[in-house]
Amino acid sequence: MSLKSRPNGRVVVIAVLGLAVIAALFFSAPDLASAQDDPNIAAQGTLKANRIDVPNVEILVEAVDGSFTGSVVTGEDGSWSLLLPEIGDYRATINADTLPPGVSVKEADGGMREFSVSGLRPQPVLIGLDGAIEGAASGTSSRANDIEALQLAVDGIKLGLILGMMSIGLSLIFGTTGLVNFAHGELVTLGAMMAFWFNRTGIFGNTYHLVISAIAGVIILAGVGGLFDAVVWAPLRRRGSSLISMMVVSIGLSMMIRFGAQFQFGLTSRSYRDYAIQKAIDFGPFALVPKDLWIIGISLTILIGVGLLLQRTRIGKAMRAVSDNRDLAESSGIDVERVIRIVWISGAALAGLGGILNGVTEAIAWDTGFRFLLLVFAATTLGGLGTAYGALVGSLVVGLLIQLSTLVIPADLKNLGALFVMIFILLIRPQGLLGRAERVG
């Protein structure tokens, strides 16, 4: 197998794309004034107890600073919506006296939820309820528990697939270079922000549909990955820098990008213009909004494509060869530096796409990738460092554990369950689920 170097023109193109995203990050802040003119300064939600709509319940909404107080009553389908005077922080509280018999607020949050309104879309507010409406069909409670578990499992698979998009790139980078890249989370943030830049802020006054914005964001992130390798990591490799030194560099790079994003993007969470509010499709035991179906479908397609690339193509086989034994791969005629460059490009693109898909379901924030970084590390370590398939399996396990753990522990602690299981499995199998045991010494 022989993969020869090609002219450096590609490096120039990659560098231009990377510089474009850096310029966008530090010199083009989102247009907040237009957000304040958006008519969707509102809060909305649906009250359910064991998946049954709860009507005629009063919800009090007040500004955290006390400048506004309002109320709204849920409709027959449990839904409610309330216009708010301005962007800011609010608090929604259920009037427990208006709850029907058999239904009560969750003790964990006391029927209260704090939220922030950005003005880019009506802000969804989820307030949990316990119990079931009296007079519902017999067996409703136990069936509802089963339905809730299945719904959480589906949500866990969706989360696991998004984590898989983020984790595979990190695993491939570690496999080919041995580097634990702490800046990988910031690639997730940059992907989401670049799509937001095209979709909301606009380029030269023009905004684009989210599909076009997502494609542009992924292309730019591929350029960023190639730029970082050409400018930072390749010179460090040529100088023989230790992996510890390179890891410290990745931490510094992570902090630079993260706080640069905070400076330009601000502390307020934002959302894409398209697919913000959708009606869920009821599949019987679970329900999903159309965008979640697309997220699952796109993630599966991309991950299957990555698997086929690794198994069936020359560059994929070269990646696996470099990951298995770099010296042997180089002696076989493989251009190791070119393979590593392609790994950085594809890994950054996958991380950016993962950030975009997550941004479709959740708000985008300056620290989105940093909050995902620990889960990405957990998934990669659980599956086996350096193995793409292990990263995918570990991501699915982590995603399922995170969502299903809310059946027994408060939602605010749901990430702990996945981390404890990771520790337990690694105590039994230190190389991870699909990793290979190596002899040292």
Domains and CATH numbers, the chain: 9-30+150-428 (1.10.3470), 36-136 (2.60.40.10)
Residue 15 has pLDDT above 60, yes or no: no
Mean pLDDT of the chain: 80
Task: Note whether 170 and 380 are within 8 A (CB).
Answer: yes
Residue 130 to residues 49, 140, 363, Cα–Cα distance (Å): 6, 13, 27
**DSSP-assigned beta bridge partners for residue 53:** 48
Task: Note whether 221 and 197 are within 8 A (CB).
Answer: no
**CA geometry: angle 37, 40, 43, nearest 5 deg:** 135
Lowest mean pLDDT among 87-91, 181-185, 232-236: 87-91
d(CA 319, CA 323): 6
Helix ranges, 205-335 (H) = 210-228, 234-238, 243-265, 290-312, 314-324, 326-331
The pLDDT value given to residue 36: 41
Residue 28: which pLDDT band, with cuts at 50, 70 and 90? Answer: very low
d(CA 251, CA 181): 8
Task: Note whether 83 and 41 are within 8 A (CB).
Answer: yes
d(CA 135, CA 132): 9
d(CA 335, CA 238): 14
**CA geometry: angle 383, 387, 389, nearest 5 deg:** 70
Residue among 430, 207, 324 at smallest CA distance from 332:
324
pLDDT 10s digits, 256-312:
999 888 888 777 777 788 886 677 777 777 778 888 899 999 999 999 999 899 888
The pLDDT value given to residue 30: 45
d(CA 13, CA 19): 10
User: Across residues 313-337, what is the average pLDDT?
Assistant: 87
Amino acid letter, residue 408: V
Residue 27 has pLDDT above 50, yes or no: no
The pLDDT value given to residue 9: 53
DSSP letter for each residue of 254-278: HHHHHHHHHHHH-SS-B--SSS-S-
d(CA 364, CA 370): 12
User: Across residues 372-401, what is the average pLDDT?
Assistant: 84
d(CA 193, CA 272): 10
**CA geometry: angle 121, 254, 316, nearest 5 deg:** 95
User: Which of 170-174, 285-289, 413-417, 427-431: highest mean pLDDT?
Assistant: 170-174
Percent pLDDT > 90 in the chain is 21
Lookup: tokens for 126 = 């989820």
d(CA 35, CA 269): 12
pTM above 0.75, yes or no: no
The pLDDT value given to residue 190: 92
Residue among 71, 46, 63 at smallest CA distance from 129:
46
Provide the CA 411 distance to its chain's centre, in angstroms: 17
pLDDT 10s digits, 343-374:
999 999 999 999 999 988 887 888 888 888 88
Residue 223: which pLDDT band, with cuts at 50, 70 and 90? Answer: very high
The pLDDT value given to residue 26: 47
Lowest mean pLDDT among 136-145, 330-339, 378-387: 136-145
Task: Note whether 375 and 397 are within 8 A (CB).
Answer: no
